[in-house]
Amino acid sequence: MQAETKTTIDRTSGSNGASISVLRFSGDISSTSKESVLGAWQTVNGTGPVLLDFSKVEYINSSGIALIIQMLMEADKTGQRVAAFGLTPHFQKVFTMVGISKYAGLFKDEPTASASL
């Protein structure tokens, strides 16, 4: 059974003191996650650098990956910097294979990802 996607928005400061938005995802990310994922993205789109926290995500299917790609393509159009962290080794590999790593840095933890922005 699929775990409902929950997305919360936090703020943190980068190493230079600039504000960074953090989208924290939990549950599974799939086609039913569109409102949660893209709704949160619309809130932070164009507001500066963004971190994507996948540390509480249990599963991402191909439809979920498509949602993430959609977010990152929108960020790329406007030059918004994005970094992701908390992915399992399996999903780090999948994200790299499908080209997500071209649009967002993939990091092991929040401090490392934050420092990259």
Give pLDDT, residue 18.
82
Domain locations in the chain as residue ranges: 6-116
- Annotate the chain with three-state secondary structure: CCCCCEEEEEEEECCCCCEEEEEEEEEEECHHHHHHHHHHHHHHCCCCCEEEEEEEEEEECHHHHHHHHHHHHHHHHHCCCEEEECCCHHHHHHHHHCCHHHCCEEECCHHHHHHHC
pLDDT higher than threshold 90 for residue 50: yes
Name the pLDDT band for 98 (thresholds 50, 70, 90).
Answer: very high
The arithmetic mean of pLDDT across residues 17-28, rounded, is: 93
CATH superfamily of 6-116: STAS domain (3.30.750.24)
The arithmetic mean of pLDDT across residues 43-69, rounded, is: 95
Give pLDDT, residue 16.
78
Angstrom distance (rounded) from CA 63 to CA 98? 13
Give pLDDT, residue 13.
85
For 58-87, the pLDDT digits (tens) are 999 999 999 999 999 999 999 999 999 999
